Structure 1
Amino acid sequence: MTKQADFEIFLATTPGLESVLCSEVRLKGFKKPTAVPGGVTIKGGWPEVWRANLWVRGASRVLARIVSFPALHLSQLERRTRQVAWADILRPDVPFRVEASCAGSRIYHAGAAAERIANAIEKTLGAPQAPDAEIVLKARIEQNVCTISIDTSGDLLHKRGHKEAVNRAPLRETMASLFLLQCGYTGAEPVLDPMCGSGTFVIEAAEIAARLNPGRTRHFAFEHLVSFNIEAWQQMRAVKSSRTPTAHFYGSDRDAGAIAMSRANAERADVTGCTTFTQQTISTLTPPDGPTGLVITNPPYGTRLGDKAQLAALYRAFGQTMRERFSGWRVGMVTSEPTLAYATGLPFLPPAAPVPHGGLRITLFQTAPLP
């Protein structure tokens, strides 16, 4: 692979949300997005790698696929690794580390494979290995073929760089953005979360409406690669795509601490002008003035923050408030407990398959506009 040639770029996401991420990537104009298990592949060069990290909301990390070759034993793996033009990719003064996984291959010891690859790179390039290095090469050996990729993101991409405070059971920003997209949200309608926690859904919705790039305030691992060009990157980041949203975004929670947290996060994200957070209970909730939109929430679930029997009352109250006061609004609800979802009495459409989150499997339930 040369620096100029297009290569495969893999955008990782939560299994089960690949097609939703593919829709986002297609909307953002990337070449040949294809949903594959665990993510989406696109074709491009290093500028597309930077852009994917900067622009894409639903990806958890962006991997640049460097090389693929057959490897039947460790000495072949090491020899083929040494043939890669690492000096075009990695800097000799920047530490790196290698993580490996093996499946259905004659090379079955991931630790030994990682060690051979790392030693080959160190001997070829002179770059030091370090267990806490920010530059991570990921080697996947599957059916006797080794694919080596670079994690170009560094920290996982849900760490937007402008959200510090989180509540006890946060939904990751990447996942929240994909659930918003799944509910048909485009940025043109109001969004309300009546159990907003640290404000994730409200802030993501406001950022989408304001066309703010999710990676605008953070650092990425690709800044330490040979291909990185500081002037070109600064130009890319400086492009002003933002606009003033036409809609407003609302969060409420019965917990005063959650509201303080949400306001602080909204301020860091620069969306205070289009967001409002208020302390109130579900039973006192009324729709804001103006057009109807989307109510979306990630309420507590039994295995997470409380007893299911107590929670059923909360879900019933939520459903009653929606049915009685939110005519014309759509509702999206994320929960690990279908019985709690149906306790709302809301007319949910058939749900998509559950997706993994924090050791649980959660499902997005959604309605058409309420009668």
Structure 2
Amino acid sequence: MTQHAPFDIFLVTAPGLEAMLCAELVEKGFAEPVAQSGGVTIKGGWPDVWRANLEIRGASRVLARIGSFHAVHLSQLDKLARRFPWGDILRPDVPVRVDASSKRSKIYHAGAATQRIETAIREELGAEISADAAVQVRARLEDNLCTLSIDTSGELLHKRGYKQAVAKAPMRETLAALFLRQCGYDGTGPVLDPMCGSGTFIIEAAEIAAGLAPGRSREFAFEHLVGFDRAAWDKMRAPRAPRTTDLRFYGSDRDAGAIRVARDNAERAGVSHLTQFQQCPVSELEAPDCKPGLVMINPPYGTRIGNKTALQGLYRGLGKTLMTRFAGWRVGLVTTEVSLAKATRLPFGAPGPYIDHGGLKVRLFVTGVLE
């Protein structure tokens, strides 16, 4: 792998949302994205890696495939890892950590494989191995093929850089962005969240409408790799004037603390002028004085049967408010149970696929325009 030859770049997302991520990559002009289990592969160079980290909302990580070789026993892995041109990618003065996984391979002990690759990097390159290093090498052993990747993101990409506090059960920004896309949201209409928590859906929607890059306020692991061009990166991420929009994005919650957090997050994200947050129970919610748009909700789920039974009333009240006061709006609702979605009596279509969210399996339910 050279610094200029195209290579595979794999963008990780939650299984079930690969098609949404693929659509985002097409929209952003990345060449020939191919959806695979757990993500999307594109081909490109290092500037494409940088831009993917900067601009793509739905990916949780961006992995650069840096090479591969066949290995059927640990001694062979050791020899080939020592021959690998680590110095083309990794800097000897930057600590590295290694994570290996094994599937259907004769080298089945992932820990032993990790140790061999760590030793090769330390002894051949001279880099320190550290468990908390920003730069991570990933080795996937599958069918006796060892594929090496660099995690170019560092911290997970849902960490946009503006959240200092979150409310209970927060939705990750990457999932929120793809759920908005799954609802057909494209930044041209208002969004309202009546259970907004720390404001994730509202801030994501406002950023999309304003054309703000999600990675504009954070650092990335690729900044510590060989060949990183600081001047080119600074030019790519240079602040651009937000798109002018008359849209507003509305969040409400019965919890005053959540509203304070949401307002602070919107301020740090630079979209406070586009957002309005108010303390308000769902029963008192009124449609804002604007053209109809999308109501996007991530209500409480309940993880025990008793909790789910008690939540039926909450969902019924939510559905009644939306059906009686939000004619012309569409609704997207994320929940774990079909029974909870049905309790709203909203006209949902077939639910989306199950998506892992905080150890729970959730699905997105979407209506057409409410009458």
Q: Name the structure 1 match of 2:151.
A: 151
Cα gap change, 1:95 to 1:304, in 2 (>3 Å): farther
1:18 and 2:18 aligned:
yes
Aligned to 2:277: 277
Identify the residue that residue 116 of structure 2 maps to in structure 1.
116
Where do residues 126-165 of structure 1 align in structure 2 (5 Å cutoff)?
A: 126-165=126-165
Matched residues in 2 for 1:306 and 1:275: separation? 36
CA distance in structure 2 between the aligned counterparts of 1:342 and 1:363, rounded to whole angstroms: 13
State the SS of the aligned residue for 1:31.
coil
Q: What is the Cα deviation at residue 247 of structure 1?
A: 1.3
Cα distance, 1:5 vs. partner? 0.5
Change (3 A) 1:259 1:305: farther
1:300/1:306 contact within 8 Å kept = no
Matched with 1:49 is 49
- What TM-score, normalized by structure 2, do the two folds share? 0.98
SS at match of 1:245: coil
Secondary structure, counterpart of 1:238 in structure 2: coil
Deviation of 1:152 (Å): 0.5
Q: Which residue of 2 aligns with 1:309?
A: 309
Partner of 1:355: 355
The amino acid of 2:289's aligned partner reads D
Gaps of 5+ in 2: none
- For 1:62, the equivalent position in structure 2 comes to 62
State the match for 1:340 in structure 2: 340
Cα RMSD (Å) of the superposition? 1.2
Contact 1:188/1:246 (8 A) holds in 2: no
AA partner of residue 111 (structure 2): G
**1:1-371 alignment to 2 at 5 Å?**
1-238=1-238, 240=240, 242-303=242-303, 307-371=307-371
Task: Could you tell me which runs of 5 or more consecutive residues in structure 1 were left unpaired when the two chains were aligned.
Answer: none
Matched residue of 2:296: which SS? strand
- Bigger mean CA offset, 137-146 vs 68-77: 68-77
Which is further off, 73-82 or 163-172? Answer: 73-82
Q: Deviations over 1:68-99 (max 9, x none)?
A: 11111111112222222211100010110110
- Secondary structure of the residue aligned to 1:206 is helix
2:101 maps to a residue whose letter is: S
What SS does the corresponding residue of 1:252 show, helix, strand or coil? strand
Letter in 2 for 1:297: I
User: Measured at CA, do residues 239 and 58 of structure 1 come closer, stay the same or move farther in structure 2, by a change above 3 Å?
Assistant: same
| Aligned counterparts of 2:103 and 2:246: Cα–Cα separation in 1 | 50
What is the alpha-carbon distance in structure 2 between the residues aligned to residue 131 and residue 289 of structure 1? 52
Change in CA separation of 1:56 and 1:305 when aligned onto 2, cut-off 3 Å = farther
Give secondary structure in 1 for the equivalent of 2:8: strand
Which whole-Å CA distance do the structure 2 matches of 1:241 and 1:181 have between them? 23
Find the aligned partners of 1:364 and 1:145 in 2 and give their Cα distance.
37
Q: Distance in 1 between matches of 2:361 and 2:172?
A: 14
In the alignment, the residues of structure 2 paired with residue 304 and residue 365 of structure 1 have an alpha-carbon distance, to the nearest angstrom, of 21
Please say if residues 70 and 146 of structure 1, whose CA atoms lie closer than 8 Å, have aligned partners that are also in contact.
yes
Q: Per the alignment, in what secondary structure is the counterpart of residue 57 of structure 1?
A: coil
- How far apart in 1 are the matches of 2:31 and 2:196? 36
- Percent of pairs with identical residues: 62
Stretch moving more, 309-318 or 168-177? 309-318
3-state SS of the aligned residue for 1:78?
helix
Contact 1:203 1:271 in 2 (8 A): yes
2 CA distance for matches of 1:351 and 1:339?
Answer: 12
**CA distance in structure 2 between the partners assigned to 1:134 and 1:238 by the alignment:** 23
Question: Which consecutive aligned stretches of 4+ in structure 1 deviate over 4 angstroms post-superposition?
Answer: none
Quote the Cα distance in structure 1 between the aligned partners of 2:306 and 2:149.
41
CA distance in 2, matches of 1:227, 1:345: 57
SS of the residue 2:303 aligns to: helix
Secondary structure of the 1:118 match is helix
1:47-88 deviation line (CA, Å, top 9, x unaligned)? 111100000000001000011111111111122222222111
SS at match of 2:33: strand
What is the TM-score normalised by the length of structure 1? 0.98
Residue-by-residue CA offset, 1:96-146 (whole Å, 9 max, x unaligned): 011000000000000000111111122221111112111110100001100
Aligned partner of residue 9 in structure 1, secondary structure: strand
Once the 2 structures are TM-superposed, how far is the Cα of residue 290 of structure 1 from its aligned partner?
Answer: 1.8
More moved, 27-36 vs 237-246: 237-246
Letter of the structure 2 residue corresponding to residue 159 of structure 1? K
Between the two proteins, the alignment pairs up a number of residues equal to 371
Is the Cα contact below 8 Å between 1:102 and 1:108 reproduced in 2? Answer: yes
